[in-house]
């Protein structure tokens, strides 16, 4: 019953597109500029590293660009106070917008670095509908390419010369690592706790979105209060994004996901749909305790969803 909410979401997003209110279209031009900028930012000296680093920045495998879209829309919403005759229009506003675009680029680069490392950790062979980088070039090159992207993101971050913003996004990297470690090293008690799930999900997914939203607000010269609201908006959006991602892992197909479905449960990762189902069917707990190494248990758990 809880899974029914995805239908509402699909239905709503379809009608948004139908009404030409697709948020991606509002920043479509800027997303093209961002795509080119990212390709320039990942040029590397050594040929092997160059082809690895550019792998997920090539046309057609760029992903949804969800984070840059949110950040550019957030910038549009927050830049209106710039004391120039044309809001969002004069030279100060242009300079500000360029700095916020930089946050969008850095955020996407950190995100892609985390995907490269994630696919190594999960031994995943597909990502964004193509073979994963670790599958094509091996784990070692994939780890190094992720490190390289992180380094390029750091240099771009430093160029903003704003220590608070540097500190926010550097902390995100720690959060990504923390969330991933929490996911890898759970006790059964933790795996069955919604509180633990939400904390892990904040670190793994929402922290990047919330802290980058806050960075966009700070660059706009907004008050600490508004910056906190931007953070909260990003945190809630990030948690919602991961909840939907978790549901899609059960309901999606390889074609729609660009990777195999049921990958969480097959890796023994207990996500929100299972936790919700467990509230209704406490007998699911025994299956979780036993683990999902045995495919029989995966099928048993699916029956409760």
- Binding residues vs ligand GRG (CB under 6 A): 63-64, 66, 110, 113-115, 117-118, 121, 128, 146, 150, 173, 176-177, 180, 204-205, 242, 245
Question: Of 64 and 140, which CB lies nearer to ligand GRG in the complex structure?
Answer: 64
Residue nearest ligand GRG, CB atom distance:
63
| Tokens at 244, concatenated | 């939907």
Question: Residue 126: what are its φ and ψ, rounded to 5°?
Answer: -130, 150
Q: Please give the DSSP secondary-structure letter assigned to residue 127.
A: E
User: 46: closest CA among 148, 181, 176?
Assistant: 148
Smallest gap from Cβ 290 to ligand GRG, in A, equals 26
| Residue 13 or 94 with smaller CB distance to ligand GRG | 13
Of the candidates 149, 137, 136, 127, which has an alpha carbon nearest to the alpha carbon of residue 61? 127
Q: Which is nearer to ligand GRG, 101 or 134 (CB)?
A: 134
Specify whether the CB–CB gap between 276 and 2 falls below 8 A.
yes
- Rounded Cα distance, 289 and 303, in Å: 17
Compute the least distance from the CB of residue 49 to ligand GRG, in Å: 16
CB 146, min distance to ligand GRG, A? 5
E strand or H helix that includes residue 291: none
Nearer to ligand GRG, 64 or 81 (CB): 64
- Nearest-approach distance from CB 214 to ligand GRG, in angstroms: 18
Measure CA 274 to chain center: 21
Using CA atoms, how far apart are residues 224 and 215, in angstroms rounded to an integer?
Answer: 11
**Residue whose CB is less far from ligand GRG, 186 or 205:** 205
């Amino acid at each position: 019953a809880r899974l029914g909410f995805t239908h509402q979401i699909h239905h709503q997003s379809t009608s948004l597109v139908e009404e030409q209110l697709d948020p991606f279209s509002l920043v479509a031009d800027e997303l093209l500029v961002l795509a080119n900028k990212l390709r320039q930012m990942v040029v590397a000296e050594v040929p092997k590293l160059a082809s690895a680093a550019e792998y997920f920045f090539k046309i057609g495998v760029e992903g949804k660009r969800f984070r840059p879209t949110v950040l550019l829309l957030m910038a549009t919403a927050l830049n209106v106070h710039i004391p120039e005759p044309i809001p969002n229009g004069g030279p100060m506003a242009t300079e500000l917008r360029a700095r916020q675009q930089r946050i969008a680029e850095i955020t996407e680069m950190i995100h892609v670095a985390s995907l490269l490392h994630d696919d190594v950790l999960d031994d995943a062979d597909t990502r964004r509908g193509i073979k994963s980088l670790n599958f094509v070039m091996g784990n070692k090159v994939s780890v190094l390419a992720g490190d390289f992207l992180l380094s390029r993101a750091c240099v771009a971050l430093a160029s903003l010369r704003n220590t608070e913003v540097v500190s926010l996004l550097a902390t995100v990297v720690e959060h990504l690592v923390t969330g991933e470690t929490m996911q890898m090293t759970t006790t059964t008690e933790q795996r069955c706790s919604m509180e633990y799930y939400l904390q892990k999900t904040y670190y793994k997914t929402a922290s990047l979105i919330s802290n980058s939203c806050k960075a966009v607000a700070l660059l706009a010269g907004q008050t600490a209060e508004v910056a906190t609201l931007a953070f909260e908006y990003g945190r809630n959006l990030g948690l919602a994004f991961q909840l939907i991602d978790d549901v899609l892992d059960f309901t999606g197909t390889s074609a729609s996901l660009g990777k195999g479905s049921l990958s969480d449960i097959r890796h023994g990762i207990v996500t929100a749909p299972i936790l919700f189902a467990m509230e209704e069917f406490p007998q699911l707990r025994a299956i979780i305790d036993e683990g999902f190494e045995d495919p029989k248990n995966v099928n048993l758990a699916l029956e409760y969803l």
